Amino acid sequence: MSNDVEGKVVVITGASSGLGEATARLLSSQSASVVLGARRVNRIQSLADELTGSGGKAIAVPTDVTHYDQVKRLVDTAVQAYGRIDVMINNAGLMPQSPLERLKIDDWNRMIDVNIKGVLYGIAAALPYMKQQKAGHIINVSSVAGHKVRPGGAVYAATKHAVLALSEGLRQEVKPYNIRTTVISPGAVATELPNSVTEPDIAENIRKIYEIAIPAESFARAVVFAISQPVDVDVNEIVFRPTRQEF
């Protein structure tokens, strides 16, 4: 693997909006080949068309990360099209926060299925190829809520703490295969994430917190920083927030 972005094959889950979309755009502008996964097919297809129209290489693959076979198909498509996978970005996620006493069990299950199992399925789909290549880079998306918990955010924080734990375990286990691992923990970044909140009063509070949110390109630049290090440099963890954010 070279120490820049050009020519790298990068698979991104949750590429239909927010952090994933911004990352696809920045990586494509630096001549990476991007393979885009999400459920909203129109969004990823029009993004792929736009990037291809600008001279880039991009493929859209309809993907629900709660189904392992679909995540495997996403990664397999990347390898079939471009011959390998250099970077897997497990980014898809949602944040329907609420106090535990409201018993929003469907929301808990969706967060566990997407934020934790989706990341595991991404690891499972990419790891066999990366082991064989003796090269690769897995980037998982946690949150400042992976480091801190506050009332109303217990389940979301639990899923993001799990992503930190998985990333650290993965980091230690993949040493023999020359695979790099990075977990990125953003604070408030302006995306569609607050739309995933199902409780109106919580949604209103979160909208207030997001008044200071920073653009999604902040995340994309962090990804580029991690990817573009020399091959013997493994950037394991990045935490960033809006300068004005307390939490």
Ligand X SMILES: NC(=O)c1ccc[n+]([C@@H]2O[C@H](COP(=O)([O-])OP(=O)(O)OC[C@H]3O[C@@H](n4cnc5c(N)ncnc54)[C@H](OP(=O)(O)O)[C@@H]3O)[C@@H](O)[C@H]2O)c1
Enumerate the active-site residues.
156
Which is nearer to ligand X, 113 or 234 (by Cβ)? 113
57 token code pair: 């290489």
Which is nearer to ligand X, 6 or 211 (by Cβ)? 211
If we measure between CA atoms, which residue out of 95, 56, 73 comes closest to residue 13? 73
Which is nearer to ligand X, 19 or 174 (by Cβ)? 19
If we measure between CA atoms, which residue out of 93, 126, 114 comes closest to residue 195? 93
In whole angstroms, the minimum distance from the beta carbon of 146 to ligand X comes to 8
Which is nearer to ligand X, 56 or 96 (by Cβ)? 96
Residue 239 CA from chain centroid, whole number: 14
Q: Where are the beta strands (DSSP E) in the chain?
A: 9-13, 33-38, 57-62, 87-90, 136-141, 179-186, 237-240
68 token code pair: 């392992």
Binding site for ligand X (CB under 6 A): 13-20, 38-40, 43, 63-66, 91-95, 114, 141, 143, 186, 188-189, 191-193, 196
In whole angstroms, the minimum distance from the beta carbon of 132 to ligand X comes to 26
If we measure between CA atoms, which residue out of 82, 85, 76, 70 comes closest to residue 38? 70
